Structure 1
Amino acid sequence: MGARAALRHGAARIERWLEIEREQLVLWLPVMLGAGITAWFVLPDAARWIGFVLGSLALALAAMVLPGGGRAPRALAIAGLALAAGCALIWWRAERVAAPVLARPALAVFAGRVERVEQLPARDMVRVTLSPIGHADLPPRVRVNLARADAPAGLTRGAVIKLRARLMPPPAAAVPGAYDFARVAWFSRLGATGKGFAPVEVVMPGVAPGADLRARLSGHIQSRIAGSGGGIASALATGDQGAITEEDSEAIRRSGLAHLLSVSGLHVTAVTAAAMLLVLRLLALSPTLALRWRLPLAAAGAGALAAVGYTLLTGAEVPTIRSCVAALLVLLALSLGREAITLRLVAAGAFIVLLLWPESLAGPSFQLSFAAVTAIVALHESPRVRGWFRRREEGRGRRLLRGLGSLLLTGIAVELALMPIGLFHFHKAGIYGALANIVAIPLTTFVIMPLEALALALDMVGIGAPVWWLTARALDLLLWLAHITASAPGAVAALPAMPGGAYALIVAGGLWVALWRTRVRWGGLAPFAVGLGWALVTPAPDLLVTGDGRHLAIRTADGAMALLRDRAGDYTRSMLGENSGAEEELALLSEAPDARCSPDLCLVEVRSGARRWRVLATRSGYMVPWAEMIALCKATDVVVSDRRLPPGCIPRWLRLDRDTLAKTGGVAITFADARIRAVRGGGSHPWLTPLTVQPPFAARPEGGGRATR
């Protein structure tokens, strides 16, 4: 009886707690839906996906038949149904977008209809998405890069062009923790990417060159402001970031200001508020309208139209759609006389986005945008914070300080929410972002965007030049702030690939703190701290090998990471540096004192604890004498090669040649515990084992053209 009484007492306490938190329970619906989606990405195959769905449904059924009723059984039942729905939804979505993928690299001559044209002036390149016509041996959608000099004048959406291109399958993550483009391409139905060759022939014209409003507006803005400033201005107006140089983009990311370039809540809110204010002021000029009409309702309608139009203009990306949905819900709440900015609004926006695009959950864009908004709203819903920053009768100086304090506290909360996400996806996060945003957000919202809008309006009558000059100076100030912040000592925290379990604990703890209102919320600090500690103590890998076996980074005696090939490209250097947790430039293995390198081979010794590990890697396409290679293999622990090694090459511990890496993908190794992590963990997600197509081999035509760079 004692045990039964204790159970009844515990159940009663849970019921009382849930009764107090009843307004917060609905916030967990998108969380449970997202957890089901996450389970599909994490679990490896269909048998486990089915098991998860059935287990979630069993949980829901068991909760429904629990005696006594109450909120706890109902909450468990809804959670179980949401978990099952999330897993089934993303599985259905992955099968629905299924399309063939190119089997292996190929040189193809084909005609295709242009679906999208992206101008990338900072890289002197044009990116074109095509739908091949009459080619069953090609994927239904491919993307090629063209040099700007090779792009014909009639290259517009809807045109049919003929070209020759070097195509390749969408690449998977090069090493564990790196960006998995193959997964992203699968949900975009993109079956191949590549580089196009001149000449490119326009077979059939598409839309008129001036009919694409987004491209025309971006080009107009970039013609008024040169360089990265024009790229930022066009990003604010249309979402087009192609004119921002890589140097400036990196500074903006390192300074924690990257959210300003992604059209999301800040931009949609500014456009919506500006439209509402303008319509309200214009309508209020008429006494008749002011007395007979509900002008705020009319202004809300204008704001809604502005939000939808801006979303369509900027390409209707997921963060923009989420912000547009949120703006529409805010306007609806205002029209009904309800409180507008609440966590319920955020939850509704997340639920709608996950229903329409469940795959967006796995991307950093969804996670960053919703984490930032959730942190802001949760912070300012707190009664204590509201008490600190509520309006009161006081001097202008104290009011200004209170506003700055609110902005700083909000910035700190956002940085704490975004830093783990940035470390998980990008392996680095800005430290001084909260301070930089105190200046950058007001500068962008109240100076740059209004000036840009005014300049565009004045350009209709040809007198916008002075305002464009002011806009350019404000953008120069923003770029200066980004570079100063990014170059400050300790501006960036770098971390190697974070374990998925650690990230899950951090996210779960953060959501627990943000979504509850009673003191129970502080229990979320425990999993948050455990996850953060787990991530911080996870050792950086000692050896990273890319999936093609051509590149590796290995830890040398001084603790730095060194590259195998002297001529590795910038992307390879950056990717290996980020995933190894190295903030500094990677060294060259050929110059390391503990390595012996020839043009064809490198042999390096790595000390880990009391043991020395000998690693051998090929670094050229030339064959090594068979007997010499066999002898070297026997004397080393790990052998890495981008070719097939002879059967007699048997190292003491691990052999990573072309055949092995084709099964495992990229590999990360920690020598201290002899731990191996591979990109391919034996899963059967559709982008890992897709249906493939392959064009027949064609001899290279005479002459040829110039490849893009």
Structure 2
Amino acid sequence: MRVLARVEAALLNQTGYLFPWSPVCLAMGIGLYFSLRFEPAWQVYVCLGAVVLAAWGLARKARSGWASLAIGGALIAVGFILAGIRAHTVAEPVLSWRYYGPVEGRVVAIDRSASDALRVTLDRVRIGDVPKDRRPQRVRLSLHGPVAQIEPGQRIMTTGHLSPPQGPVEPGGFDFRRHAWFQSLGAVGYTRVPVLTIAAANPEGVQITAWRMAISGHVRSILPGEVGGFAAAVTTGDRSGMGQSTLESLRASNLAHLLAISGLHMGLLTGFVYLALRIGLSAVPVLALRWPVRKLAAIGALIAATVYLMLSGGSVATERAFVMASVMLGAVLIDRRAISLRAVAVAALIVLILRPESLLIPGFQMSFAATTALVAVFGQLRDVGQLPGPKWLKPVAGLFLSSAIAGLATAPIGAAHFNTMSHYGLVANMLSVPVMGMVVVPAAVVAALLAPFGLDSLALGVMGLGLEWILLVSERVSGLEGAVGHVASPPGYVLPLCACGALWIALWQGRSRWLGVSAVAAAFLLWGQGQRPEVLIADSGGLVGVMTDQGRALSKEKGSGFIATVWLENDGDGVGQPNAAARWPEPSAIQRYSWRGKELIHLTGKRAASGFGDCTSNQIVIAAVEVDLKGDCDLYDPARLLQTGSLALSGSKVMTSRKIVGDRLWSPKTRGDKRAQ
């Protein structure tokens, strides 16, 4: 009873501070839905609905301490229900076999692939004689052949290779199938032949995209090269004008966030417009004395944010930033504190309700981690007083502190998802973020105002100078020795544990908040003790990787390049595929490797398969082609790999992607398809 009394007393002491925990509880329910290995039946949702009603009734009758727990439980159930509803409402057909033939559709998005090829997303798709009920709503094609002018709204046709979205390249890894499911992306592929335009651009349904691409082209015509591509990316979200080398240097210097139209850009834009309008209106005595200048400035900033959202393509990151900006500007309109943990919580609730799958996206995690940390720390500083030091030094100290806080808050998330850490990222941000805020964004706003009069070239020139400086910083910083460190992927429970500890520190009131430090410390300790799989097998059978004292040895120096890159990144290994393949002993047509008293045999081609004789019980055979073997070896051929997906072997433990992902809406149906024969 004493324990219960202490728990209730602790909850009562948090009265007035519990609202920021609402999105945390909602996120717990969403995370629970995505962590399941089976798709919940409708009865589960009915039961959870009953739980929500019961918890709501209990919260109304119980004492306030226990009422907060009841509300938290209800929010967890609501999060689960929302995620399930969202997953079912976005359901569209997914290609279940490899297809080669005519592909026709309307261009709705243009970007670049990881191989630097132009890439288009098509809707209103037609592929061969596939009936409409089995036809993907959207497909994405990388264009490796001759490419004419591609515009949004065009209907194009080509001959291409399509396949279902790929599952995790290793058990427990990123599931692109799940990501594609929520984008209604039912097939991905490529073409090496010319693309034909069979219908001129029709702006119906893609008018905003057409405007974006037109603005992007105009910006690049004034600012050529990588600077123009950078300018187009930060104004319209179009990155098709940027090369991979520039993107890599921005990532290596921890400046890639300047490309994504997210919280920083939206905050700088709305902040600049708000201050400009407030100063301008206050300079007119008649307006300053008779009108609520502060609220008018907030309305103007909100309009600017809305226009920016439309022109930037409305990506998930931009929508998230718009919601956060809208909540803070709305707080100004109703005379509330604009920057507070409650405002951040409201923004997180809106995003999670509209797009529950955002919880799994690194951008969501990093954005709200940085924002929560900044608001919490500066809130404490506001309570204890201003930053120490002379006035002229305070802006520099504030910039340094905010960059350091945001960097520390997002570093574990970035390292967990991308397996890299920029050792000089703080320096690069200190040199670049002020230029983005004081030069690039104001010049972009002025250019937008002057564009209707054809006078935007001068403002874009100023913007280009700022972007040239940022690109110079990224190039120099990324070129420093040891600029990038490589980190192995943590076990799946590490990041949630770290997040829970950090949130406890930020949101809980009182000295017991520092208990969260132990959770964060435990997370990093468990991260350091995590073990990578000893053997990895690709779901196609085309690549095998074995962990050695020198790092992972790969069975091939070419082919399956994406899989090889992800494996090595997850190992925290900075070498390329050829160097990793050099670790494999005695390369030959039939790749062999001795592992734990067994012999791994990798057969990649029909010739190698036909030249392999009978197998024995101490052999594990991985074949990328159909083979007919005699013997009692453990065989992983295409038919079996179709059922298992990628594999990870550690000792006697065999883990498959299929087992970890389970039978979900986005999981492939393994019963087979006659078209795949």
Contact 1:379 1:410 in 2 (8 A): no
- Tell me the C-alpha RMSD between the 2 structures: 3.3
Alignment counterpart, residue 649 of structure 2, candidates 669, 676, 679? 669
1:657 and 2:637 are equivalent in the alignment: yes
1:634 & 1:14 partners in 2: Cα distance?
A: 58
Q: 2:27 aligns with which of 17, 30, 34?
A: 34
CA distance in 1, matches of 2:590, 2:538: 17
Distance 1:68 1:126, change over 3 A: closer
Given the alignment of the two structures, is residue 165 of structure 1 paired with residue 155 of structure 2, yes or no? no
1:467 and 1:305 mapped to 2: Cα distance? 21
Pick from 356, 363, 376 the counterpart of residue 365 of structure 1: 363
Q: What is the CA deviation profile of residues 38-91 of structure 1, one whole-angstrom value per residue up to 9, with x for unaligned ones?
A: 111111113599669847965984896699932232112111111111111111
Give matches, 1:502-541, under 5 Å: 502-541=494-533
Q: Quickly say closer, same or farther: Cα 1:38–1:539, change in 2 above 3 A.
A: same
Aligned-pair CA distance for 1:380: 1.0
Q: Describe the SS at the equivalent of 1:650.
A: coil
Query: Per the alignment, do residues 150 and 543 of structure 1 end up closer, same or farther by CA in structure 2, a change over 3 Å counting?
Result: same
Instruction: Name the amino acid aligned to 1:660.
Output: R
8 A Cα contact 2:541 2:622, kept in partner: yes
CA distance in 2: counterparts of 1:46 and 1:295, whole angstroms: 53
Which moves more between the two structures, 252-261 or 43-52? Answer: 43-52
1:379-432 C-alpha deviation (Å, 9 max, x unpaired): 11114x653634x8x7xxx33433333333332322222122122222223233
Pairing of 1:554-569 with structure 2 (within 5 A): 554-556=546-548, 558-568=549-559
Task: Please tell me the residue identity of whatever aligns with 1:107.
Answer: Y
Q: Does 1:605 align with 2:583?
A: no
Partner of 1:615: 600
Change (3 A) 1:278 1:172: same
Aligned to 1:630: 614
What's the secondary structure of 2:421's corresponding residue? strand
State the alpha-carbon separation in 2 of the partners of residues 352 and 67 from structure 1.
Answer: 24
Change (3 A) 1:64 1:131: same
The residue aligned with 2:665 is 686
- Greater mean deviation of Cα atoms: 29-38 or 268-277: 268-277
CA contact (8 A) 2:541 2:641 kept: yes
- Residue 202 (1) aligns with residue 198 (2): yes
- Asked whether the 8 Å contact 1:39–1:87 carries over to 2, the reply is yes
The structure 2 residue matched to 1:312, chosen from 310, 313, 316, is 310
- Counterpart pick for 1:595 among 575, 585, 591: 585
Q: Are the structure 2 counterparts of residues 120 and 41 from structure 1 closer, same or farther at C-alpha, using a change threshold of 3 Å?
A: closer
Alpha-carbon deviation of 1:685? 0.9
Secondary structure of residue in 2 paired with 1:161: strand
Q: 2:572 is matched with which residue?
A: 581
85 and 459 in structure 1: CA distance in 2 versus 1, 3 angstrom threshold: closer
- Residue 641 (structure 1) aligns with: 623
In structure 2, the residue matched to 1:705 is none
Q: What amino acid is aligned across from residue 201 of structure 1 in structure 2?
A: T
Distance (whole Å) between structure 1 residues aligned to residue 497 and residue 12 of structure 2? 26
- Cα deviation for residue 298 of structure 1 reads 1.6
The answer (yes or no) to whether the contact 1:114–1:131 under 8 Å persists in 2 is no
3-state DSSP of counterpart to 2:81:
helix
Q: Cα distance, 1:110 vs. partner?
A: 4.9
What's the counterpart of residue 335 of structure 2? Answer: 337
Conserved? CA contact 2:643–2:670, under 8 Å: no
Q: Please state how far the C-alpha of 1:433 moved relative to its aligned partner.
A: 2.4
What is the match of residue 175 of structure 1?
A: 170
Aligned: 1:499 with 2:501: no
Secondary structure of the corresponding residue to residue 240 of structure 1: coil
Q: What is the CA-CA distance between 1:296 and the residue it aligns to?
A: 1.9
Find 2:78's aligned residue among 74, 82, 85: 85
1:35, CA displacement in angstroms?
Answer: 0.7
> Does the CA contact (< 8 Å) of 1:57 and 1:84 recur in 2?
no
Question: 1:278/1:419 Cα in 2 relative to 1: closer, same or farther (>3 Å)?
Answer: closer
SS of equivalent to 2:254: coil
Distance apart, 1:373 and its partner CA: 0.8
Change (3 A) 1:43 1:124: closer
**AA matched with 1:483:** E
Name the CA shift for 1:167/1:694 in 2 (closer, same or farther; >3 Å).
farther
CA distance in 2, matches of 1:204, 1:443: 41
Amino acid across the alignment from 2:613: M
Q: Distance in 1 between matches of 2:237 and 2:195?
A: 30
Deviations 1:640-681 (A, max 9, x none): 221234352433xx543223322221122334xx44332221
CA distance in 1, matches of 2:386, 2:578: 50
Aligned-pair identity in percent equals 28
Q: Distance in 2 between matches of 1:187 and 1:424?
A: 22
Corresponding position: 1:127 with 2:120: yes
CA distance in 1, matches of 2:602, 2:319: 48
Is 1:408 aligned with 2:390?
A: no
Residue 389, structure 1, aligned to residue 386, structure 2: yes
SS at match of 1:150: coil
* Shift in CA distance, 160/47, structure 1 to aligned 2, threshold 3 Å: closer
Equivalents in 2 of 1:685, 1:36: separation in Å? 17
Count, aligned residues: 669
Please state how far the C-alpha of 1:559 moved relative to its aligned partner.
1.6
Gap change, CA 1:437 and 1:355, over 3 Å in 2: same
Mapped to 1, the partners of 2:149 and 2:72 lie a distance apart of 54
Q: CA deviation at 1:515?
A: 1.1
CA distance in 1, matches of 2:157, 2:356: 35
Q: Report if aligned partners of 2:55, 2:73 keep a CA contact under 8 Å in 1.
A: no
Deviates more, 1:408-417 or 1:315-324: 408-417
SS in 2 for 1:164: strand
* TM-score (norm: length of structure 2): 0.90
* Distance 1:403-1:246 versus aligned 2 partners, 3 A rule: same
- Pick from 145, 159, 165 the counterpart of residue 142 of structure 2: 145
1:297-322: per-residue Cα shift (whole Å, max 9, x none)? 22211111111111111111222222
Distance 1:670 1:402, change over 3 A: farther
Amino acid aligned to 2:333: S
Describe the SS at the equivalent of 1:312. Answer: helix
Matches within 5 A, 1:94-109: 94-109=87-102
Cα distance in structure 1, aligned partners of 2:258 and 2:80: 33
Whole-angstrom distance in 2 between the partners of 1:95 and 1:68:
35
Cα distance in 2 for partners of 1:164, 1:279 equals 53
Supply the distance in 2 between the matched residues of 1:124 and 1:191 (Cα, whole angstroms).
Answer: 20
Q: How does 1:247-396 map to 2 (within 5 A)?
A: 247-284=245-282, 286-383=284-381, 387=384, 389-390=386-387
Distance 1:555 1:294, change over 3 A: same
The separation in 2 between residues aligned to 1:121 and 1:83, in whole angstroms, is 37
The CA deviation at 1:268 is 1.1
CA contact (8 A) 1:100 1:690 kept: no
Q: Alignment partner of 2:299: what SS?
A: helix
C-alpha distance in structure 2 between counterparts of 1:507 and 1:128, whole Å: 35
Q: Which runs of 5+ in 1 are unaligned?
A: 1-6, 699-709
**Structure 2 equivalent of residue 444 of structure 1:** 436
Distance of aligned partners of 1:251 and 1:566 in 2 relative to their CA distance in 1, 3 Å threshold: same
Q: How far 1:355 sits from its partner (Å)? A: 0.8
| Alpha-carbon distance change, 613 to 445 in structure 1, aligned in 2, over 3 angstroms | farther
Q: 1:50 to 1:247 in 2, by over 3 A?
A: farther
- Answer yes or no: is the 8 Å Cα contact 2:263–2:318 preserved in 1: yes
Over 3 Å counting, the alpha-carbon distance change for 1:379 and 1:139 in structure 2 is same
